[in-house]
Amino acid sequence: MEENFKNYEKIIAKKHSISFSPKYKDEFNTPVNEIIFIAVAEKAFEKLGWDIIYKDDFNIEAKRKEAGWMNERWTEIITATYKNGNISVKSESLGSEIWDAGKNSKRVKLFIHAYQDTLMAFDQEALKELEKEAEKKNNWDDYIIPDTLPKPTQTKTPDFTIPLIGGLLVSLILGFIVAFLSVKGLYFIGLFEFLVATALVFALKYFIKFSNYTNFRKLQYLLAAMIILIYSSSQYFQYEIILHENNFERIGFLSFLQIRFSHGFVINKINLGWIGWIISWIIQLGLTGLFTYLKTAVVLTKYVFERIPVDVVDFACYHFVKNKSEEEVRKELAGKGWSNKKDQDEVFESIGGLQNATELNRIK
């Protein structure tokens, strides 16, 4: 952040907000049109050192970052919206805090000050030039169509068998590990769900790479099945481990579950009864599912984007910006050596990956 804005931030009067997602909103008017507003707001965000994560014709969003214990983390998301010269600015806390200590009000007022300060640096002639530059940038007018594109790399035909079989094996292995740690009293709710999700995503990352399979919906179903298999198989593995270590007679797995329910779920010497087991299993499934979904979306987005050279993605994006249809873009790609439909589909997936990455960044 530029020094003059640091000094101004210190004298801003704070207005505290308390809620499950603290936020603050304010409005002001600007004499410029939406094109100039977005361009000036972008420069203001850059001067403040906030990360721009999204913009369109009437909206721009940024996240503010600060140092944490181990690494940097985003603390607020700031959104500015243009409507007929009226600007609405909102800052919302990220994370689990319920009291913002007035931080959101400071972010909003600081942005408004930075925007107005930046706008004042332009005279009318400079504003017209800024508008032309913004329009050229939005319309990709400076893009130079290349004479050639990198040739497609040979990728295998997508095969769901690899993630399916691999997912089955990984789930059973993780199920045994969870069972062993549970029997030994080393299982910690919250931490181990995160570790299980991390292991699942790590394995799925390589399954996707080796199979070239990128259907997110089916991968979601597979992950849900894997999570259920991990925790259901862990119950059976616990049954086998307990019988083996104590030389008990085999009573049957269902009888084992009945005994477990009758004894209840004990935590900190408090017996929560059979309902405690149900709650603990729901927490296990829910936390693992949440961690896994977000991490898988990131892994898949990164894979589909990196699979295609950036020059090819830019070439296709340029033609879409120029309002060409999918068939017309396919013809343009074919003219540059990308005639195979599978290769073209992967280009379109890569463009979708860019959009997904933007939406992931916008998650609050």
Same domain, 167 and 299: yes
Same domain, 177 and 132: no
φ, ψ dihedrals at 256, nearest 5°: -60, -45
Total domains in the fold of the chain: 2
User: What pLDDT sits at residue 268?
Assistant: 65
Residue 145 lies in a domain: no
What's the whole-model pTM score? 0.75
Radius of gyration of the chain (CA): 27
CB atoms within 10 A of CB 34: 19
Same domain, 192 and 85: no
Q: Which of 259, 287, 306 is the last residue of a domain?
A: 306
- Name residues whose C-beta falls within 8 Å of residue 290's C-beta, 6 or more positions apart in sequence: none
Indicate the angle between helix axes 161-183 and 191-211, nearest 10 degrees: 160
Same domain, 298 and 186: yes
Query: Which residue range is the domain that position 223 belongs to?
Result: 161-306
Residue 357 lies in a domain: no
Q: What share of the chain is helix, strand, coil (3-state, %, to 5)?
A: 60, 15, 25
Same domain, 101 and 187: no
Angstrom distance (rounded) from CA 95 to CA 364 = 8
Token digits for 82? 């243009």
Task: Convert the pLDDT of each residue in 290-303 to its tens digit.
Answer: 888 888 888 888 89
Task: Convert the pLDDT of each residue in 225-241 to its tens digit.
Answer: 999 999 999 989 988 88
Intervals of the chain under pLDDT 50: none
